[in-house]
Amino acid sequence: MSGQIARGAAAAALLFSGIAAAADPAAELARAARYFRDGKSHRAAFVQTFTPAGFTKARRETGEIVVQAPENLRFDYESPKKTFTFDGKVARFFAPADRQMTVRALSEDDRAQLPLIFLQTADELRKRNTLDLEGRPGGASILVTPRSPDSEVSWIRLALAADGSPAALSFQSAAGDRTEFRFEGFRTEPPLDASAFAIHPPAGTRIIENEP
């Protein structure tokens, strides 16, 4: 389930100039907080690549993400069709082809495994992780490294666009699997009702609840 959430779901390179002057990754995370915490929803297309440990060939998927602070998320994948949502407490993963939906109430430890760091502050992240600002031509990336040896995630890298929206998010599992999201053209829209971050599958769908 945690692998599905990480891929369905939840945080490359910062695509703006002048980042060299920012010595603290907290300043970059604050930009993301300002972008999302405006009371509105934010939508973008994404391309996801998943590379299993020990392999060089990646699986590519596309879809659309909706983010609404403080913790609402929705990922809709195009092919094969599937949906992942998180409302701050419960994660849902629905695969229409399998006629199955997984529902799990997340504990604080579960939530800490989600790589969606662009909805968290530096203070929140530093409770469990070390934060570093990595330079690159034309920008930088925020590297988040969990301190716990039992973490399911080895590292997370976040890139922000000039307006504070995520440009890219990559992470590696403790098993060595690597996932990268690239986001295209976040746009601001009116806030959505809470029902947009719940899934109501058709009759006959198998519901699996609170399994690890």
133 pLDDT above the threshold of 60:
yes
pLDDT band, residue 207 (cuts 50/70/90):
very high
Q: Count H helices, E strands: the chain?
A: 4, 12
5 pLDDT above the threshold of 80:
no
List, in sequence order, every residue forming a beta bridge with 169; answer none if it has no partner: 158, 181
Count structural domains, the chain.
1
- Distance, first Cα to last Cα, the chain: 6
What's the mean pLDDT in 153-176? 92
Which residue range is the domain that position 125 belongs to?
2-11+13-209
The CATH number of whichever domain residue 185 belongs to comes to: 2.50.20.10
Residue pLDDT, tens place only, 40-81: 999 999 999 999 999 989 999 999 999 999 989 999 999 899
Q: Concatenate the DSSP letters of all residues of 9-60 into one string.
A: ------BSS-GGG---HHHHHHHHHHHH-SSSEEEEEEEEEEE-TT--PPEE
**Mean of per-residue pLDDT scores for the chain:** 85
Residue pLDDT, tens place only, 84-102: 999 989 999 999 999 999 9
CA distance 129 to 30: 17
Give the pLDDT score at 156: 95
What's the mean pLDDT in 95-112? 90
Q: How many CA atoms lie less than 13 Å away from 66 in the CB half-sphere?
A: 21
- Residue pair 94/76 in contact (Cβ under 8 Å)? The answer is no
| pTM recorded for the entire structure | 0.82
What's the mean pLDDT in 111-119? 81
